[in-house]
Amino acid sequence: VAFFGIILSLMLYSYLQERIMTRPYGYLPGPSGPVPVFFHHTFFLVLSNRFISAAVALAVIIRRKEWSAIQSTVPFWKYVVFAVLNIIATTLQYEVLRYITFPTQSVLKCGKVLVVIALSMLLQGNAGYSIVDFTAAAGIVSGIGMYLLSGNVSAPHARITSALAAALNFSKSANVTQGVVLDAAIEQVGVAAVAASANAVTPPSQALLAMANPNALIGLVLMLFQIVLAGLTSVAQGRLFATHSVGVWNQMLYTNAISSVIAAVFVFAHGDLGELARYLWKFPWAFFDVNMLSASALVGQFAVLFCVREFGAWVYAAIVTLRQFLSILLSNAIFDHDITLVQWCGAIVVFGMLFYRSWAKQTPASES
């Protein structure tokens, strides 16, 4: 149950976030044909996800009559800091898919281990890390380097930017937002241009060309910030559990409730509620996918909690590592990212090092 719960729910989550952020939900008439319309309301994704999680955590507390879980012993400001870090990291996780492919994101996210090790050693000295951790870290760095330097990493609709000026001129006379038209122009011109030039360069040259793409560089920089923030979040969460008596439902309730309020403030401050409502009304499949994204994330959280409680951290780590690799396979099969052989080898090295680290450190103490 734990295996299939984690694999299926989180693979669905991975597919939906890529579907929502990188593929159009409809088309509008344009001067040279239909213009694809993309989803641009990232803060609404975060709001939906966090609100549903907070509501379910509160429902579980009420159902179990664990009223003490509503009263937190953690200072409120710590939850606010934790929630802000979590919101920014999640927003970057979604936004980065506009610039780099999902497989690239998945491989780079494994670098979070390096950030956690570095931060833990900075804050707590050695923090119990051994040669196993440092060997795995070196392997992860090598695998990430192999992946980045041996093939394309940029998202299809972010590869060519020569159509930006024309798109801006068109947006002035069309009843659509500039962001929609910009993405449409890049999508229409970029895919054709990349397909035409794919056979004109050798794989190493193609990789360097992709890395030099301004959009790819933006995506890699955003991903670096996301990894650092995710690592900070993990370290902050660990210290929160270590210094305070915090239950799982208490943490889920407060973190997600505060995150919901902050995300709602961002949604209102952005001033596009009317556009968001019209978009979801015109493209109901987008609304369905957003809710399915939140539901799959929630089911994944429950499956993870059940797995860690019943089988320990080693089994959980092995399942999650397998899930990440399977998600890349699914993404490549559905969205056709043309991953090269060397990139596959780099990904296998990265996930192999994660699996090795989890296996080598399996002890009763680590599982607890």
Q: How does pLDDT run across 191-237, given as a tens digit for each residue?
A: 333 333 333 333 444 444 444 456 788 888 999 999 988 888 777 77
pLDDT for 138 beyond 90: yes
pLDDT for 166 beyond 60: no
End-to-end Cα separation, the chain, in angstroms: 21
Name which of 220, 202, 78 is nearest 148 in CA terms: 220
Q: How does pLDDT run across 5-31, given as a tens digit for each residue? A: 899 999 999 999 999 999 989 888 877
The secondary element (H helix, E strand) that includes residue 27 is strand 26-30
Rounded CA separation 328/104 (Å): 9
Q: What angle do CA 313, 317, 318 make, to 5 degrees?
A: 120
Rounded CA separation 223/229 (Å): 10
Residue 72: the pLDDT is 72
Residue 22, CA distances (Å) to 78, 110, 199, 291, 303 in order: 34, 22, 24, 17, 27
Count Cβ atoms within 10 A of the Cβ of residue 178 and give its class: 0-12 exposed, 13-18 middle, 19 or more buried.
middle
Residue 176 backbone dihedrals phi, psi, to 5 degrees: -140, 160
Residue 158: the pLDDT is 58
pLDDT for 247 beyond 80: no
Q: Is 271 left (phi over 0), alpha (psi -120 to 50) or beta?
A: left
pLDDT for 274 beyond 90: no
